[in-house]
Amino acid sequence: MHDDRSLVEARLKRVLDERIRPAVYPESVPLDVAVWNAPGEPVPVAEGLAGATEPIAVGDRWGAPWGTCWFRVSGTVPEAWAGRTVEALLDLGFDENMPGFQCEGLVYRPDGTPVKGLNPRNQWVRVGAPAEGGEEVLLHIEAASNPVILDYHPFLPTQLGDKETAGSEPQYVLARMDLAVFDEHVWNLVQDLEVLGELMQELPVDGARRWDILRAVGRALDAVDLQDVNGTAAAAREQLAGVLATPAQPSAHRISAVGHAHIDSAWLWPLRETVRKVARTTSNMTALLEDEPDFVFAMSQAQQFAWIKEHRPEVYAKVKKAVAEGRFVPSGGMWVESDTNMPGSEAMARQFVHGKRFFLDEFGIENDEAWLPDTFGFAAGLPQIIKAAGSKWLLTQKISWSQTNKFPHHTFQWEGIDGTRIFTHFPPVDTYNCSMKGSEIAHAAKNFKDKGVAQHSLAPTGWGDGGGGTTREMIAKAARMRSLEGSATVTWETPTDFFTKAEAEYPNAPVWVGELYLELHRATLTSQAKTKQGNRRSEHLLREAELWAATAAVRTGADYPYEQLDRIWKTVLLHQFHDILPGSSIAWVHREAEKTYAAVAEELNGIVDTAQRALAGDSTTGETLLFNSAPHARGGVPAGAAAPVTDGGSSRLAPREGGGFVLDNELLRVEIDARGLVVSAYDIAAGRETVAPGQSANLLQIHPDFPNMWDAWDVDAFYRNTVTDLTDLDELTPVEEGGAVSVRIVRSFGASKVTQLLTLAPGVKRLDIDTEADWHETEKFLKAAFPLDIHAERYASETQFGHFYRATHTNTSWEAAKFEACNHRFVHLEEPGWGVALVNDSTYGHDVTRTVRASDAGTTTTVRVSLLRAPRFPDPETDQGVHRFRHALAPGAAIGDAVREGFRINLPERRITGDREVAPLVAVDNDAVVVSAVKLADDASGDLVVRLYESTGGRARVRLTTGFDAAGLVVTDLLERPLADAPVPESGDAGVLLSLRPFELITLRFTRG
């Protein structure tokens, strides 16, 4: 037989495009349309429905950037259409290639009842099935004219990312507003032909199945009368029935489809618009669930449920009903789909606490899975947190975006820093917006790396980001692929159904140890420095507020601000969303974030001040008290206590031969040369030099920074090819104040200026570095380099509840790909018996490299901290302005010293006058054990909750003593619920004895006597 494949395939495409798809709606009449342009921000539904409208016609422009237009559409069903299915076709000017990235709408009935969302791939509203002739139709559309930020030519700088700069030019042209007859026979023929045509393209050319489908498609096209598609669609479908009924092979890959609409809680739109995106999508999905009995939809992010509960209660009522029926599934158990690299220990824990508690309180549902399809890599401390929250599974897809190395598994056990393992799945469909295309389903089956030992994968199915979620077309396609020869099988299932089956079939899944590093989007560790700084400072202020409020409640009977702290935690957690904290959102988002963090700081400082004054007593007769919020003693004051200040000692400053200054406090001697660079940091007791020979530390370096794409997200390896050392000096001035000695250094470069204060305080082996950068560069990357005279094949970066080791070399492509990585408060390098820590108060990105000296083959290691970037997309003014950072170099530091110094720089001393010392509520006798939280229980019972962890990577025996009458003690999960299988700690008059494995976290709940 002659090979006529190309002929039939080309025929199929043209007939579908030009004859069959247009025949889905064979008859239509125009609707009357009027519009009211809402002034300013979105208005309540009742106000939008009552707005004074004026006529508008198809072809007219509408919608200023970030505006809202309320369309009123009306018409009458023709008498001739009685008994037929009638739909309204409402095209606001959509581009079907941009679901989620342009205008959207939510349709209401005249009484304010939401009907469904309008999106580029979902433009219909059912009017009647069957319709009544003469029926009056009246609908209202709340249409958001969100501008297109990520256009066909992506990553171009635009002022559209903030309503303050976006202008008022209309963005869209009204395209179609009709009533139309919907022909279900033709619509089903479209689905049949699309499924078979797409499957055919994926099958081997020399396989019989491909030719069976080809011949059936040819017969179906022969059966279609192109002048009477509607009258011949049923006959055409009969020709396809046989090939659609042939069942899948028993060995076929099995896909669990989960309805999904990944909605970024902010990204190329502000937070307020996400509220509406969620309302539109959930309206779509609850309507679809009513029509499709097999369909299951899952939505993560408790914050998004809370938004529609607050702002769209009429939509929330439908969601709650669907959840109760088990078909609308709250998934993930987190407050938002947060970044997981940068949030601190307690913040990462609270993501699960607040997310899971919301789902429990609202729906009585406990999540077993963490659901993070789009997060930019996963910190090595996360498995323990997932388990401690009472969950056991993780789903993500993002690692498939890695540029260099292909991850070797799709289903595996992920082992964290403490040894906890979490059953993890990466959907091999390689998208979290699956649309049930044959190419996607075939890719999932071919791509699945665990063939032969496992058979199941998951496909999150639906348009995200306001694209409207799953469509009826996707459901129709899935139904045809439930069991179809040549295809993977597709079944709608909940995440729990999938994970239960996948775990049961793969009891010996392979193990991946350590972080899940995304080999992409590395610059998100640096972009939008003020957002990152706001997060870090909020995290530590929350620690202080909980500690001192709890102490005041126990010691003085003061009220504990439960509701206030709960609200603030949720605000901070929201801003850890994976496009806010990483700095990859539009200018509007980060402008609002800066204001929000300032308000959070003011509130938390108020809580701290109120509690400390209640504890300190009379401020007129007392002395100066140091309140120590850190988990280690400081200035003679125990952790979590307040006592009189015992300042003393002094450091010395002298001119340096050849220019510059020498700073000395008998523990550390620091030389700063005439260029203002640190050329020596000598550990006097150890007799060790810190700075690599012939090198200079605290060297500011600037690189060009223009990645190939994803400007705010990416830094590409070639940025290192060009570097400028910033050694020109405007000012070098000695400063002596309060026993400490400092050198002030000012440098200008480009349009920017950096002022640094290098300080050596008495009695500490630490050089403090305060940096103020007035930054006005474009597409540049600013780093500070610290070449260290230390031989290290690996180094430690702090992560949640511990630290993680990375290689300093690039033996493998996996190591080479980690050329920019994340740390929390410190990085630490060591040789046996001596180490160096570099700590910070608000930066995350860094890189570490090794150098071998030509003179003696000695190895040195350079740590560079990332300070600022200046990408122009999506915010063209990223990081412009004044920034302040604090770092410290700690020679001779063991890992425990790095932990202590990291807390010190992030928890500055607070001094107030009072006449009462404050004893700590809890104390531990082992510095390796860090108390990460002291608070009252969230249920307002008055119980005290203490969370602690082993911080050095070793085993620890610790005695915990309480400074209050403890009547009872239980070990709990993160949600402060007793753990049934947890051993009861030894306790007695001398305290509670605990044994912790490396990096183990434990939550204790004390009942107060």
- Give catalytic residue positions: 374
Collapsed DSSP state (helix, strand, coil) of residue 185: helix
Tokens of 107: 């349709």
User: Of 268, 317, 31, whose CA–CA distance to 161 is shortest?
Assistant: 268
> Within 13 Å of residue 714, how many CA atoms lie on the same side as its CB?
17
Tokens standing for 648? 């003393």
CB 68 within 8 A of CB 172: no
Two tokens, residue 124: 């219909």
Specify the pairing of strand 254-259 against strand 489-492.
parallel
CA distances (Å), 959 to each of 135, 982, 986, 992, in order?
78, 18, 9, 5
Report d(CA 184, CA 234) in Å as an integer: 10
**CA dist., res. 652 & res. 666, Å (int):** 9
Burial of 912: CB neighbours in 10 Å, binned 0-12, 13-18, 19+: middle
Interacting residues of 488 by C-beta distance below 8 A, sequence separation 6+: 248, 252, 253, 254, 255, 441, 442, 444, 445, 481
Distance (Å, whole) CA 12 – CA 16: 6
SS (H, E, C) 111-138: CCCEEEEEECCECEEEEECCCCCCCEEE
**Sheet with 104-108: strands ordered across:** 54-55, 32-38, 67-76, 136-145, 104-108, 114-118
Mention every residue, 6+ apart, whose C-beta is less than 8 A from residue 979. 970, 971, 972, 973
Tokens of 532: 């990152």
Which helix H or strand E contains 356, and what residues bound it?
helix 345-363
Pairing outcome for strands 731-737 and 724-725: unpaired
CA proximity to 464, closest of 429, 426, 495, 435: 435
- With left for phi above 0 and alpha for psi between -120 and 50, is residue 801 left, alpha or beta? left
Task: Lay out the sheet containing 826-831: strands in order across.
Answer: 731-737, 740-749, 752-760, 767-775, 881-891, 834-840, 826-831, 794-799, 802-807
Alpha carbon of residue 1000 to chain centroid:
25
| String of DSSP letters for 265-317 | SSSSS-HHHHHHHHHHHHHHHHHHHHH-TT--EEE--HHHHHHHHHH-HHHHH
Q: Are 845 and 822 in contact (CB under 8 A)?
A: yes
8 A C-beta contact, residue 117 and residue 285:
no
**Helix, coil or strand: residue 667:** coil
If DSSP states are collapsed to H, E and C, what string results for 793-812? CEEEEEECCEEEEEECCCCC
Q: Locate 746 and state its tokens.
A: 């000012």
**Cis amide bond preceding 130, omega within 30:** yes
507 Cβ contact partners less than 8 Å away, ≥ 6 residues apart: none
What CA–CA distance (Å, rounded) separates 674 from 658? Answer: 7
Burial (CB count <10 Å: 0-12, 13-18, 19+), residue 838 = buried
Exposure on the CB side of residue 893, measured as CA atoms within 13 A: 28
